[in-house]
Chains A and B, each alone.
Chain A
Amino acid sequence: MAIDPREDDTIVALSTPPGLGGIAVVRLSGTESVSITNKLLPSNKRISAKSHGKALVTTISDPSTGDTIDEVVVTFFRAQHSYTTEDLVEISCHGGEYVQSQILYLSTNAGARIAEPGEFTKRAFLGGRIDLSQAEAVADLISAKVKSAHRFSILQMQGALKERTSSLRSKIVELSALIEAELDFSDDEITPTPKNVIAEKIDQVLIGIQQVSGNYGYGKIIRTGAIVPIIGKPNAGKSSLLNALLAEERAIVTETPGTTTDIIECPVDIEGFLVRLIDTAGIRSTSESVEKLGVDKTFEQIRSADLILWLIDKSSPIEEDDLNIYAELKNRNYIVLESKSDLSRHKSFNPERHDIKPDLAISSQTGDGLHELSSDIATKLRSLDAGEDALITNARQAAAFSKSEKALKRALSSTLDGAGNEFISVDIRDAMIYLGEITGEITTDDVLNEIFSRFCIGK
């Protein structure tokens, strides 16, 4: 059975080319687009379904952690006046891949679905927005995109993710068979499975799903590179380190200037990892407000990083700025670098007193410690791999796993609450459908087949 395109739900997609280009636009279309967007906005800066065509400057944050993702401009277009003829929201954000994929991911968590290739255009057409003569062109566009997506998906599906997802799904099918058999056959025919056994089995599948989805971050590192900001107070030697690393390692591209901020991002290849070094250099000012902006930016970098390189300047005292940064690093993946190892130690440079333990001493001038740093970076990134072969590499798969996980959690809690199988099965089915979206297996006959192979039916 084919996947239902669910034409009336709210879809989300990046409408500008993916990658590092200046500003990116994420679009949502459908009846829920306003309410979904608002879930990601602060309560005092939300869009209203009345404010057609008005742009609002606000911030997107992760509702579960409260972490700020990006400063954005949100514009709402009312149905009938929008491109798709549905309620449409455009979120203009900064062009980094991390920010874009976070916004996509959070939108799907809030209820949107990643659009099929060409789906916005399709809705525009179905809504009568596009001229009839364009119909064939749209059809070709969809089919062309599907073909290239198909090639990509075949490559991916051949891999471990499909196998792993398939095996998780068949565990859910088994579970479903246990639950459904009791509903499809009477007590005369079937011995019921105790609720604690059901709960245990749900839990096992949940653990499997969490293992795979927990490795989403690593999958992204493999696919789009690791975000590695170099942080430290002004003059700690961030730019020098960046340049030294670029000289030491193979720079893939030269500096790619950001657009609205002064962030510099340089991709380098470190032991096979695409490492996107980020320097917040250029934020230098005596004006207090700009200084504060710099610190805010640094903190933002920390939150979205896969690995942080923190520089503490051996030739200057440990200051409050350093301690503020240190506080922010807690529970994150970072390397502490004692910079300027070629200079003499400042008398008030006393990291031990603050419980700060430098991992490595480096000097961008002499090249001291740089080789070790590269190998430390690779080791740290490798440690992010949860040992799971199956890698989720895009937001669509991540969304499917996350929805499946939520459904199983609901099923688990209703099982523990003693709910009837007919209710548990509503969520188990959902979990099965979501994983089926990744593997393409969707059929209710699976469950009956499983029942017939397990139970001696027919009194």
Chain B
Amino acid sequence: MTDSYDIIVVGAGHAGIEAALSSARMGNSVAIITMDTNAIGRMSCNPAIGGLAKGHLVREIDALGGEMGKAADATGIQFKMLNRSKGRAVWSPRCQSDKYAYADYMDAVVNSEENITLIGDSVIGVSVLSKKVEGVYTTNRGTIAAKAVILTCGTFLNGLMHTGLKSTSGGRVGEEKSGGLTENLTELGFKTGRLKTGTPPRLKKETINFDLTEPQYGDEEPRAFSFSTKNFNPPNIPAYITHTNEKTHRIIESGLDKSPMFTGLIKGIGPRYCPSIEDKIIRFSDKPSHQLFLEIEGIGRGDIYVNGFSTSLPEDVQTEAIRTVPGLEEVELVRPGYAVEYDYFPPHQLYHTMETKLVKSLYFAGQINGTSGYEEAAAQGLVAGINAALKLLGKDKFHTDRAESYIGVLVDDLVSKGTQEPYRMFTSRAEYRILLRHDNADIRLSEKGYNFGLASKKVYDRAKYKKSLLEESVSALRATHLSVKKINERLGHIISRPADKPSSLLQLLRRPEVKLLDILPIFEITSSALAKKIQSDPESAEQIELEVKYEGYMKRQNEQVARFRKMEHKNIPPTFDYSAIRSLSSEGREKLSTMKPESLGHASRISGITPSDLSLVAIALRAYDTRV
């Protein structure tokens, strides 16, 4: 008799962890199958969590009840709110992590989860019957049965690592590739592509002269990722800044004939937002110098990550080049940087639940879908895990849309547009950016997380409280009116020009020079209880101020969202037959038939679909609804 589980998760990276934890916590028996059961939650590239737009993803994962935010809070060694010089609406949290502690934390959480069984094996295929997944084939244990399978294989599918003209097969340094699975999925009808990513060399800490670099610390008042983290008091360990120079660049140029990228050895497409140092030097040849960040990989550990120096040049060229950098004259490498090529499955082959369109109950999450980044992977793992669990429970699917979360933007971009390069989240991808802030992730998502049984009641209650305090305060500020005399008396020293007509506190707060704290004493006279609540809750105070100051923009975005949602709610059944719509353009028919959009709104975001195609589909849908 074969082993049997509700859900099998293949891989134990950032996507696999969230997929396994969420589905297990929702009551399913889950097996994680991974080649190395000691390699859980590894940070294979930079030792950091969050960053612009990525920080939003972490906050949202946390609000839904995922693990990443808590792990980052527990193991971060330096926290920083990015974009602090800009408006609060685009602030985003980031931390430097002790990557060893992070992996240990995740290892402990996964191992202590009762419903999870950890299996060390290599998956070489998925077992499918009548277009539904039945389990997986493994190298050592044969078939393992499951009602649902989530593949989170990262860069391991036919992984090929390059340093100079030397290439080794494997998914990460020191770890084997997984073979056979791509071929198996291709046979099932999946389309595959090849991508590339890279990582910088790691340096020996004791060979660096830090005196020649400039330390960069985190915030003095750090903010946690998780809505449930209390008494937050993390270390503040600096990164060190140094720079490349003309000498460095000349050495790199001299090694280009041995670069796997520039000699055409690497065929996969790499990310433009994270170029290798050789790329930067060629494409921006007028820049005499590039900034490098030396980042501690772990407290008490001897390896240093060189942020900004991703490369696949031969090891000797890497060493020679990096020794021209101030502070690194004597440096020794722990290991060289490398590029890795791997298979991915263009994600238009998925539904918004991350379930594949070809095989029922088979889910893909993380780098297998062509994304990059721990946060992007974790977000997809969570969506896949929750959906796999909900389906087994016979419940409605989990869908968060572009107007509700960055996770929604991520998933929708992937399934409706696919990706040609490793996909990373950017704030500019979110059309409703002003509404999707890191500070209100709990208000947006914790109700869903709570209903799944993942987010804690405390977090959900707090979100409800924040929301009602916000609404109450805004309407009370609107209702509190001040005479001209009172305004000038109380706020004369703050306002830029004296008042000439009576105003509400809300109107006064809208002036750029007036802060919530300035009007709170006046507010206290009429709404004493409310004012006290605001005073004791700086987080809410920030939100109220933001909401009032930018009410006009928020209102406009809310109107855009209402229009957007109307289209999103017009569902298209998966069995919908586009060939029956006579007047549809042939391009439209082909695209719609392959992409199987889930709603009219989703259809509108598929490239090549015209407004008249959409009108025709809308009409046919109406006819379909009436017939059914």
Contact = CB atoms under 8 A, between A and B. Distances in A.
A182 to B, nearest CB: 7
Contacts of A118: 615
B269 interface: no
B369 interface: no
Contact of B553 (A5, A146, A185, A423): A423
Contact of B428 (A139, A187, A444): A444
B469 to A, nearest CB: 24
B308 A422 contact: no
B618 A126 contact: yes
Contacts, number: 164
A62 B587 CA distance: 43
A132 B626 contact: yes
Interface in B287-316: 287, 290-293, 307-308, 310
Interface stretch (A6-14, A18-26, A274-282): A6-14
B378 interface: no
B275 A5 contact: no
A122 B618 contact: yes
A422 B606 contact: no
A336 interface: no
Contacts of B275: 456-458
Contact of B619 (A117, A125, A459): A125
A421 B434 CA distance: 11
B563 A8 contact: yes
B622 A125 contact: yes
A422 B553 CA distance: 10
A2 B85 contact: no
B619 A122 contact: yes
Interface in B247-277: 272-275
A1 B581 contact: no
B524 to A, nearest CB: 30
A9 B560 CA distance: 11
B604 A5 contact: yes
A116 B86 contact: no
A188 B557 CA distance: 30
B283 interface: yes
B434 A423 contact: yes
Query: On chain B, which size bracket covers the interface?
Result: 35 or more
Interface string B551-592: 001001100001110110000000000000111000000000
Contact of A146 (B557, B564, B612): B612
Nearest to B623: A135
A116 B610 CA distance: 12
Given A132-B623, A426-B556, A444 B618 contact: no
A423 B273 contact: no
Given A444-B428, A456-B287, A183 B615 contact: no
Nearest to B277: A458
A2 B626 CA distance: 27
Interface string B410-441: 00000001000000001111010110000000
A122 B623 contact: no
B208 interface: no
Contacts of B530: none
B609 interface: yes
A136 to B, nearest CB: 7
Given A122-B618, A142-B616, A422-B433, A2 B610 contact: yes
Contacts of A132: 623, 626
B86 A421 contact: yes
Nearest to A145: B612
Max chain A CB contacts within 10 Å: which of B52, B605, B619?
Answer: B619
Nearest to B284: A456
B112 interface: no
A187 B85 contact: yes
A420 B90 contact: yes
Contacts of A184: 52-53, 426-428
B476 interface: no
A429 B620 contact: no
A207 B35 CA distance: 62
22 contacts: A6-B567, A9-B563, A116-B611, A116-B615, A117-B612, A125-B619, A126-B618, A126-B619, A135-B619, A135-B620, A139-B616, A142-B616, A183-B83, A184-B52, A418-B512, A421-B90, A422-B86, A422-B427, A422-B434, A425-B428, A443-B607, A457-B274
Given A186-B83, A429-B431, 12 more contacts: A5-B611, A5-B615, A119-B615, A122-B615, A126-B619, A135-B619, A182-B86, A183-B428, A184-B428, A448-B428, A456-B290, A458-B308
Interface of A: 1-9, 116-119, 122, 125-126, 132, 135-136, 138-140, 142-143, 146, 180, 182-188, 417-418, 420-423, 425-426, 429, 443-445, 447-448, 451-452, 456-459
Interface of B: 51-53, 82-83, 85-87, 89-90, 272-275, 280, 283-284, 287, 290-293, 307-308, 310, 417, 426-429, 431, 433-434, 512, 550, 553, 556-557, 562-564, 566-567, 581-583, 601, 603-616, 618-620, 622-623, 626
